[in-house]
């Protein structure tokens, strides 16, 4: 079972990330200031969801999946693999 505190606002399961516990403690613990962002800056998704809109997660937004999420493709993933992760994240956020 997944610890819900490790589900980021965008639906990623931080505990499943290869960086978790090494260079990152998760989006929630870092208040969006995660390893892949410039130092001191929030992730664009976290900024939009939490800081700007005051949502608990992107699951509350009627634009999910939005351009910000779709613009965060890991270059190590194929387009098909990335879209599968987006689909999984949306399902996780919507409780499906």
**CB neighbours of residue 41 within 10 Å:** 12
Please list, in sequence order, all residues whose beta carbon lies within 8 angstroms of the beta carbon of residue 50, skipping any fewer than 6 positions away. Answer: 9, 32, 56
Is residue 94 within 8 Å of 10, Cβ to Cβ? no
Tokens of 58: 């992107």
Place of tokens 């490790």: 6
Which are the contacts of 40, defined by CB distance < 8 A and separation ≥ 6? Answer: 33
pLDDT, tens digit only, all 96 positions of the chain: 455 778 999 999 999 888 899 988 889 999 999 988 999 999 999 999 999 999 999 999 999 999 999 999 989 999 999 999 999 999 999 987
pTM: 0.88
For 77, the domain range is 4-94
Q: How many domains does the chain have?
A: 1
């Amino acid at each position: 079972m997944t610890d819900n505190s490790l589900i980021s606002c965008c639906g990623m399961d931080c505990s499943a990330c290869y960086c978790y516990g090494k260079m990152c403690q998760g989006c929630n613990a870092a208040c969006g200031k995660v390893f892949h962002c410039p130092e001191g800056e929030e992730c664009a998704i976290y900024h939009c969801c939490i800081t700007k809109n005051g949502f608990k997660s992107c699951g509350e937004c009627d634009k999910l999946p939005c351009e910000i999420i779709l613009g965060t493709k890991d270059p190590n993933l194929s387009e098909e693999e990335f879209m599968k992760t987006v689909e999984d994240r949306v399902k996780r956020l919507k409780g499906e």
